[in-house]
Structure 1
Amino acid sequence: MIYPENFESKIGFDRIRNQIAVLCITDGAREKLSGLHFSTSREEIVRLLEETFEMRTILMLESDFPENNYVDTALFLKKAEVTGAFLETGEILTLRKGLTAAYELVRFFGSDSGAKYPRLRALSRDVQGFPEIINHIDSIIDRFGKVKDSASPELYTVRRSIREREGQISRRLQQIMSQAQAAGLVDADASVSIREGRAVIPVSAANKRKIKGFVHDESATGKTVYIEPVEVVEINNELKELEYEERREVVRVLVRFTEMLRPELPGIAASGDYLTTMDLIRAKARFALDNDCTMPIVEEGSSILLKNARHTLLAQTLRKEGKSVVPLDLVLTPQKHILVISGPNAGGKSVCLKTVGLLQYMMQCGLLVSVSENSEMGIFRSIFIDIGDEQSIDNDLSTYSSHLLNMKNILRHADNRSLILIDEFGTGTEPIIGGAIAEAVLEQLEAKGCFGVITTHYSNIKYYASNAQGILNGAMTFDVQNIRPLFRLETGKPGSSFAVEIARKIGLPDEIIRSASEKAGSDHINIERQLREIARDRRYWEQKRDKIHQTEKRVDELAEKYKTELETIKAERNRLLKEAKAQAQQITAEANRQIENTIRVIRESQADKEQTRLVRRKIEQYKDSLEQAPADDGAIDRKIEQLRAREQRRAERKANAATQEAPEQKADLVKPKTIEPGVKVRIQGQDAVGEVLELTGKKAIVGFGQIRTTIDLKRLEAISNSEYKKVTRSLRPTTASPASYDTAERRVHFSQQIDVRGMRASEALDATQEFIDDAIMLGFSEVRILHGKGTGALKEEIRKYLRTVDLVASAKDEHEESGGAGITVVRLEL
């Protein structure tokens, strides 16, 4: 059941149907399109969708597919059924065009290419191509629609006689024309003309009595008359009789052809019906291509899982303006089968509702829809919609009465296989009673198990949806900072109407807005404020998350790139060292031969033997040193190991963040009950915050940054870690990672000094590790760490970490005049 009767116009399906009709070539296809209907049979729906999807693929991939020459043959085939009737030459040419198109389609789907499209191949399997009829038509009619001379022996004879008579007439007229011109009766540039099918010569009106014949016409001015000389009248009469005979013979040829065709008319009619069916499928596929439509997964039961769904008509409008539609993701299951959408006006609630209705109706009519291919759409037995103003003077219906009438019909016929679409639920009457009635109706719809999408501004509907088992709240997102809708659906929470913000943006006076807020009451305003804050915070953290993901991806890519480059350099260095060793061995062998010659000369000259042995030993030692020289892989190995260690630390931090973030945040919010070493404190009545270092009786030694002071416990109050961070964060410079990890850009903006004063030891170590890693990555040979003097514990932890880094050559105090022990100068081996 589809309710109401004008359902298609309400959701815009009538415009979809009209657009497909324009793409149809034949009237038969348009007639079939008008009969396109909502189906509840999964088998039929899947067949129609697969046929269109296969055609869509063909139009994209198969260049030899016969897409044109589709024609209607139904009208003149009915004419051919009448005994004694015959088809005109133009109709026969149209028939040939249609038979040829059907034959080419059948041949395509019977080929290897067509085997890839089983649905359309099955549709073409029993269709006849009638190549014999096509050949017969070619034998009797030429491509200009004229019956050929060879269509029958009689026609050939008649036309030969006609040509002979035409030749005789032409020759005789030329003779008469020449004589008349010589006598001055006809102008020298005059020529033979045809009037009323008769050959005539133009003669001036003054001389018309001087030439015997019949006047057939005269010029507009009356100065020229057209005369058929008596000498050619008889020949023209014979020619006219031959033309009548020609026409009778042409009719006999066409009658014989039509009689031959008559037994094949049922098969030809089936072929014509097949052609219009293929034309309709082609038009639907062409529409799908133009609007990026595809085939979803069709489920037997009732459910909806839409991914990247777009309202087809809205996407067309935005495309003309150079814009793109925001896609919709929506899920309705038997567990959560009704979605209540709230949010600002003009925020996209109605578009969301219409998108669901239009796409579901299109799919159950066998049309491809604007969704991702992994979307899942079930089968509904009925669809109900209540949208727009249906007030009627004739029926004495107000706006609200029409809504109530719709509610009555929906509640009477809806069940768990129904899809309900209601826009602005409960509006049109006094808000309190209207909201109460709407809530009662919603309760009944939930109890019936109906699937539905409902839009509303009423708070009681939002609250009911939050507590109902089968109902899900949804909100259209809103950019609070810029006061503009984002047209994106988020489920799981209700949305704010942002009425105050929109009114303020439009320019409504502040006193009116303040007065309205007071009249609405603090409870309502607080709830709206909380909804706005939730929307704002969620958007902020989503942006943060996306930025972190992009940054981590870039860092991973750079780490992998540098690792690969370093390993490549190492391999290249080893190759060069190997070649150098081979050259050294060659040099050593050559030097050895020279030395042996020297020794031989020494022996022959009876030199001292001990001196000779000493020379040989030195030569052997030199040779061994060349062969055993180790490859110095230290710097490169250390760099690779540094990258690996950095990557491992990053992975550990990510894993720890996932498991510890929530507990740590919760712990940070807890305010300590007693003051003890390590507790964060504030001096009562002041903003200064610090950390308790030790207790001495009723006093405490507190570190405020790098300052240590002794204060009475009574003057101190404990604060939470989050409060401490909030205050100290505003007092120290941040070291936020840049959004882009381009090396050249980072090197330009990199600071060779980091300030970790006021941080906890773990925070300072994390910051130092990242700082040193960046310095090594960017190639800086010297950096400075500002940690302050304090108790020296922070400095010792940082120095302990630096001693574990292979590429740190030294870590020393700065000169006294530049900061002394409060700053560590780190020199790096690069």
Structure 2
Amino acid sequence: MIYPQNFEQKIGFDQIRQLLKEKCLSPLGEERVMDMNFSDQYETVEEQLNQVIEFIRIIQEEDGFPDQYFFDVRPSLKRVRIEGMYMDEQELFDLRRSLETIRDIVRFLSHNGEENDSPYPNLKKLAGDITVFPQLIGKIDGILNKYGKIKDNASSELARIRRELASTMGSISRSLNNILRNAQSEGYVDKDVAPAMRDGRLVIPVAPGLKRKIKGIVHDESASGKTVFIEPAEVVEANNRIRELESEERREIIRILSEFSNVLRPSIPEILQSYEFLAEIDFIRAKSHFAIQTNALKPSLEREQLLDWTMAVHPLLQLSLSKHDKKVVPLDIELNQKQRILIISGPNAGGKSVCLKTVGLLQYMLQCGMPVPMHERSHAGIFSNIFIDIGDEQSIEDDLSTYSSHLTNMKVMMKSCNERSLILIDEFGGGTEPQIGGAIAEAVLKRFNEKKTFGVITTHYQNLKHFAEDNEGVVNGAMLYDRHLMQALFQLQIGNPGSSFAVEIARKIGLPEDVIADASQIVGSEYINADKYLQDIVRDKRYWEGKRQTIRQREKHMEETIARYEKEVEELYKSRKEIIRQAKEEAERLLQESNAKIENTIRTIKEAQAEKEKTRLIRQELNDFRTSIAESTLKEQEDKIARKMEKLREKQNRKKEKKQSAPDEKQQSSLTPAVQPIAVGDYVKLKGQTSVGQVLEINGKNAVVAFGSIKTTAKLERLDRTNATPQKQETVKSTFVSSQTHDQMYEKKLNFKQDIDVRGMRGDEALQAVTYFIDDAILVGMGRVRILHGTGTGILRTLIRQYLETVPGVRHFADEHVQFGGAGITVVDLS
């Protein structure tokens, strides 16, 4: 149950619906958005949320989801259920494309993953029983081409009709052209006149005074009265035949479409069911895109009544503030079996109403199957009923004051609420005299608590704050306010009531101090002190909360530091063991070498027969070996250090030499003689080119250069003097074409359009445009181009054709075919 009737408007859900409609691809999804409703069934909400979460993954991770054709052809299908009705070409084309989309979506969802291991199990379940219609798609493909028009070979009769139609129109065109040429030669018709179309019949434009010169039927005249349109008698019969053929063509098309509708009719119920699936996909897609836009997700959903939200955000407020690069202060709130009803107090404009609306909107969105913007560690429950009382409901028609309206809402809530209900009340007890209003509010609150209802209630009444302190199941909460900066922090803190900061706000606004003192005396020092103590408690709690957070952060940092040190000690211990192992291996090797040396020494002494001098020399050699062993490791280390020091000194010396050589280079460059200017007779090359030419003359900053038999003018700054002669470079010069030129030509040919429209231009403008157009066409190698100049007075046509006669590259030009523009277009063939 949702109360009252305008619940969605009060919490802003009507705006959510509108945003979702804008994200739908067709009326199919828009209808689902409007039909979306609140559910109190855990399984239903869980499934709907999982479908949206899976589709979000498809949007973010998949590239080939088929969502290109969402057409609503249900009205056409329902009409075709009546015998004798048929779908027209466009409806049939929309049906074909949307059936293809349904087929591709079912295939996408069904073929992703194994039977029991699909990445989108909830969407796959949704698509499980949907029928696709490949045979119908194939039949439509046999009737329509890829542009949605009836094919010539849709039936043999249609093919025959269209062949005869084309043949008849061709003969009419030839006859008209012959009549027109004869009339032009006789002077009845101007040279630039072409056949025209009137009421579906080909006619010839003639001046009114000469209309009797051509036998035929006058069909129309121009608005100015200077032209009449005559259908020559020779083509009347043929034009009549065209009309007959067009009627036959239309009848055959209707027959084809009716025949297909007869095939389609038995499958219409199943097709309509498939469109319900397409509507559901459009709806889920819209919810997914909205969730991505608002950073929404699915919290951990519980089967009990629970609100344990972290960093919850009002989505509409978030979208509004993001336009101004601002952020919403997130809401942390918790309602459970021990603290079911939250009494929020605090200053006006401190965010109490926004907090209440956020709770109402997000819970309603969640139970409509929409992800909500909050932290992923949040938990949410399911409520059977949601009641709201917010805003001024004064009604002149029903003779209800604001307070009467509030009491009416309270009566409904007390009668209907239970332990599965969520009540949202703004300014509880307001609208009447404070003492009795507060008393009634407390009595109603007591009933809510006895029924174990969940709720969020905002108030300024002290007695309700005391009630929350003294009764289990009800808890106080405060919207925080910075007393020093005198501004709201828009943060909810559960556990203590909040102050209204009435005295501080009055002082900030500038109310006279004697008025504030008088008011304080009237209300009594006890109330003022109690409010002050309350502010101090909230302030101290904020201070110690901040301290606790700081201590937590420092403890975390200390734990990370200890862990890092322990890891480093462990690595050092491992390194020490490795060093000792290597040292032992080295000592073993040295010992083996020493033993071998001693054995060799003993053998040598024996072989020398103990000669004193020889023995002394051998003993000295053994002592030297021992010393070298002892000093080898130290010497190796010293050598390494020495080598590094030597490299460092060499690097520093190179830097010094570089610094010293820099001024010398500058000085040397300043002493370098200036480059001699290019003179007549010098051999030069264009910068970046290899062709060599000779300077013939110099005019200011330009030079005339001969490259073989070609003379060109170039700027002196683009020329370099060279010792090479033209003969050495002649072959290169004659064949050189830069890659840049090749690229430019290729791009020009790629982007060249074969038609030019000069209608509306003056004669000289049109002629210049056509000149550039023909030059470019010849340059890129086009075989045929078209010039659209219109008929009009014929001046443009005459000028353009006179120019075309002078162009060597133009092989032939003539009027376009009468069906494609006739004398209004000149077709030019280029050699």
Same fold (TM over 0.5): yes
Is 1:116 aligned to 2:114, yes or no? no
**1:248 aligned residue:** 251
Indicate yes or no: 2:303 matched with 1:327: no
Cα distance per residue 1:51-91 (max 9 Å; x no partner) = 22222222222221112311112100111111111111111
Query: Structure 2 vs 1, CA of residues 570 and 268 (structure 1 numbering), >3 Å: closer, same or farther?
Result: closer
Over 3 Å counting, the alpha-carbon distance change for 1:101 and 1:614 in structure 2 is: closer
Moved more, 580-589 or 184-193: 580-589
Partner of 1:511: 514
AA matched with 1:157: R
Give the whole-Å Cα distance in 2 for the aligned partners of 1:505 and 1:591.
Answer: 99
2:202 is paired with a residue whose SS is strand
Change (3 A) 1:521 1:226: same
Q: How do 1:182-193 and structure 2 match up within 5 A?
A: 182-193=185-196
Aligned residue for 2:87, secondary structure, equals coil
Which is further off, 568-577 or 458-467?
A: 568-577
Distance in 2, matches of 1:49 and 1:160, equals 58
Give the corresponding residue for 1:654: none
Asked if 2 retains the 8 angstrom alpha-carbon contact of 1:30 and 1:280, the reply is: yes
Aligned to 2:612: 607
Q: 1:582, 1:426 → 2: CA distance?
A: 91
Paired amino acid for 1:392: S
User: Any idea what SS the aligned residue of 1:337 has?
Assistant: strand
Residue of structure 1 in register with 2:200 after alignment? 197
Indicate if the aligned counterparts of 1:71 and 1:276 stay in contact, CA closer than 8 A.
Answer: no
Structure 2 residue identity aligned to 1:15: Q
The reply to whether residue 78 of structure 1 matches residue 66 of structure 2 is no
| 1:463 corresponds to 2:463 | no
2:534 matched to 1:531?
yes
Report the CA distance between 1:358 and its aligned residue.
1.1
1: CA distance, partners of 2:85 / 2:365: 44
Q: Which position in structure 2 is the counterpart of 1:128? A: 131
- The answer for unaligned runs of 5 or more in structure 1 is 630-830
1:360 aligns with 2:363: yes
Matched with 1:19 is 19
Give 1:87-98 correspondences, 5 Å limit: 87-98=87-98
Distance 1:332 1:94, change over 3 A: same
CA RMSD of aligned residues (A): 3.3
2:441 matched residue in structure 1:
438
1:487-544 alpha-carbon deviations (Å, 9 max, x no partner)? 2211111111222222333333333333333333221122222222222222222333
Cα distance in 1 between the residues matched to 2:453 and 2:310: 21
CA gap of 1:167–1:383, structure 2 versus 1, over 3 A, is same
Q: Give the drift of 1:329.
A: 2.0
Matches within 5 A, 1:227-306: 227-306=230-309
Distance 1:500 1:598 in 2: 111
Measured in 1, the distance between the counterparts of 2:246 and 2:497 equals: 86
2:85 and 2:57 map into 1 onto residues whose CA distance is 43
Secondary structure, counterpart of 1:166 in structure 2: helix
Cα offset for 1:582? 4.3
Which one-letter code corresponds to 1:307 in the other structure?
Answer: T
Q: CA deviation at 1:301?
A: 2.9
Q: Which of 454, 475, 481 pairs up with 2:484?
A: 481
Tell me if structure 2 keeps the 8 A contact 1:301–1:379.
yes
- 1:200-215 equivalent positions in 2, closer than 5 A: 200-215=203-218
SS for the counterpart of 1:329 is: strand
Output the CA distance in 2 between the equivalents of 1:618 and 1:571.
Answer: 36
CA distance in 1, matches of 2:519, 2:545: 33
Q: Structure 2 CA distance, aligned partners of 1:296 and 1:129? A: 35
Match of 2:427 among 424, 428, 431: 424
Q: Name the CA shift for 1:580/1:479 in 2 (closer, same or farther; >3 Å).
A: farther
Out of 468-477 and 540-549, give the one that drifted further.
540-549
CA contact (8 A) 1:49 1:295 kept: yes
Question: In the alignment, which residue of structure 1 is the partner of 2:396?
Answer: 393
Q: How far 1:177 moved relative to its partner?
A: 1.1
Q: 1:412 to 1:571 in 2, by over 3 A?
A: closer
DSSP 3-state at the match of 2:220: strand
Structure 1 residues 472 and 92, CA gap change in structure 2 (3 angstroms)? same
Q: Is the deviation greater in 596-605 or in 263-272?
A: 596-605
1:160 CA displacement:
0.9
- C-alpha distance in structure 2 between counterparts of 1:36 and 1:574, whole Å: 70
Residue 473 of structure 1, CA deviation = 1.0
CA contact (8 A) 2:345 2:499 kept: yes
- Given that 1:340 and 1:474 are in contact with CA atoms closer than 8 Å, whether structure 2 keeps it comes out as yes
How far apart, CA to CA, are the structure 2 residues paired with 1:364 and 1:181? 81
Q: Pick which of 169-178 and 287-296 moved more.
A: 287-296
Aligned letter for 1:29? G
Residue 36 of structure 1 contacts residue 365 of structure 1 at CA under 8 Å; is this kept in 2? yes
Is 1:496 the counterpart of 2:531? The answer is no
| CA positional deviation for 1:6 | 0.9
Structure 2: which amino acid aligns with 1:26? S
Q: Distance in 2 between matches of 1:593 and 1:245?
A: 122
SS in 2 for 1:116: coil
Kindly provide the CA deviation profile for residues 198-239 of structure 1, in whole angstroms up to 9, marking residues without a partner as x.
Answer: 111122223222111111122222222211111111111111
Which segment is superposed worse, 556-565 or 480-489?
A: 556-565
In 2: Cα distance, 1:253 partner to 1:497 partner: 78
Measure how far apart 1:298 and its partner are: 2.9
Deviations 1:627-670 (A, max 9, x none): 999xxxxxxxxxxxxxxxxxxxxxxxxxxxxxxxxxxxxxxxxx
Compute the displacement of 1:575 (Å): 7.1
Q: Displacement, 1:623?
A: 8.3
Q: Which residue of 2 aligns with 1:3?
A: 3
Q: Is the 8 A contact 1:585 1:627 kept in 2?
A: no
Q: Deviations over 1:99-144 (max 9, x none)?
A: 1111111111210248222222122112111011111111111133
Q: Distance in 2 between matches of 1:224 and 1:335?
A: 94
Give the match for residue 748 of structure 2.
none
> Mean Cα displacement is larger for which, 430-439 or 583-592?
583-592
SS at match of 1:428: coil
Aligned amino acid, residue 612 of structure 2: A
Say if 1:238 and 1:602 are closer, same or farther in 2 by CA, change over 3 A: closer
Output aligned runs, 1:142-153, within 5 Å: 142-153=145-156
- Contact kept in structure 1, 2:605 and 2:614, CA below 8 Å: no
**1:332-390 Cα distance to aligned partner (Å, 9 max, x none):** 22222111111122221111111111112122222222233443322222211111111
1:379 has 2:365 as partner: no
**Is 1:588–1:623's contact at 8 Å kept on the other side of the alignment?**
no
Q: Distance in 1 between matches of 2:228 and 2:222?
A: 6
* Cα pair distance change 1:564/1:41, threshold 3 Å: closer
- Give the partner amino acid of 1:607: K
Gaps of 5+ in 2: 635-831
TM alignment of 1:572-651, pairs within 5 A: 582=586, 585=590, 596=601, 600=605, 606-607=611-612
- For the Cα contact (< 8 Å) 1:423–1:456, is it kept in 2? yes
Shift of 1:165: 0.6
Identical columns (%): 46
Q: Counterparts of 1:594-743 in structure 2 under 5 Å?
A: 596=601, 600=605, 606-607=611-612
Residue matched to 2:175 = 172
Which one of the candidate residues 157, 160, 164 is aligned to 1:157?
160
- What TM-score do you get using the length of structure 2 for normalisation? 0.70
Give the secondary-structure state (helix, strand or coil) at the position aligned to 1:78: helix
* Letter of the 2:133 counterpart: F
Per-residue CA deviation, residues 717-754 of structure 1 (Å, 9 max, x unaligned), is xxxxxxxxxxxxxxxxxxxxxxxxxxxxxxxxxxxxxx
Equivalent in the alignment of 1:545: 548
Q: Size of the alignment, in residue pairs?
A: 630
- Residue 110 of structure 1 aligns with an amino acid whose one-letter code is S
Measure the CA separation in 2 of the matches of 1:32 and 1:173.
Answer: 59
Instruction: Describe the SS at the equivalent of 2:418.
Output: coil
